[in-house]
Chain A
Amino acid sequence: GAGVSQSPRYKVAKRGQDVALRCDPISGHVSLFWYQQALGQGPEFLTYFQNEAQLDKSGLPSDRFFAERPEGSVSTLKIQRTQQEDSAVYLCASSLAEGAGLGIYPEAFFGQGTRLTVV
């Protein structure tokens, strides 16, 4: 497709359940980002991949959160033993990353997000 695609769009999980959120980036985009957006807040960085390498996971809130991008394309964000505080919209973004640091800023394109509600 032309844009970043995320699935499912909505997910309701019972507390303690494991969930997996999928992100299909724009074809050819090297960089992929996950953000968490709590209700009434701005998005907060979770993790960043360049191809299949996870270069920054400093934003993951706990060891219950795990992200992977095994073939450098599709990425999955997994949350184990979900808690109510995990309820949020999870946004995925991708960018070309070419020219990074050379004044050619790699614009990030965002998907519509997955709204996770933990009950």
Chain B
Amino acid sequence: AQSVTQLGSHVSVSEGALVLLRCNYSSSVPPYLFWYVQYPNQGLQLLLKYTSAATLVKGINGFEAEFKKSETSFHLTKPSAHMSDAAEYFCAVSDPYGNKLVFGAGTILRVKS
């Protein structure tokens, strides 16, 4: 069985500050891990994915995440927040066959000017 825990349902940062969204996973098989972003009234958009290649993964819009097996973590970071980053972010885990994604509860990111 697989599961994801996102720490913090709401995160608030100032524009230009570091963004850190936390994700821990549980998986009985080698996991594939994802971060999705959801803007209001829009579908989920893939930010980045880890599929057992490099442990530091770079995604769109300046985001990156590092897979740490020893900590079962896949935290999402961005060096400098922009107002347009305000959205809800979901971490998800899947098995290597892509049969389904298991999502966390989401973290709403607020960016203050």
Contacts and interface: CB of A to CB of B under 8 A. Distances in A.
B48 to A, nearest CB: 11
A112 B49 contact: no
Interface stretch (B62-70, B74-82, B92-100): B92-100
Sorting the interface of chain B by its residue count into under 10, 10 to 19, 20 to 34 or 35 or more gives: 20 to 34
Interface string A91-119: 10101010011010111111111000000
Contacts of A55: 99
A43 B96 CA distance: 19
A56 interface: yes
Contact of B100 (A33, A41, A105): A33
B43 A91 contact: yes
A48 B98 CA distance: 10
Nearest to A41: B105
Contacts of B106: 40-42
Given A101-B97, A113-B43, A43 B90 contact: yes
B44 A43 contact: yes
Nearest to B90: A42
A44 interface: yes
Nearest to B53: A103
Nearest to B6: A42
Interface of B: 4, 32, 36, 41-46, 49, 51-53, 90, 92, 94, 96-106
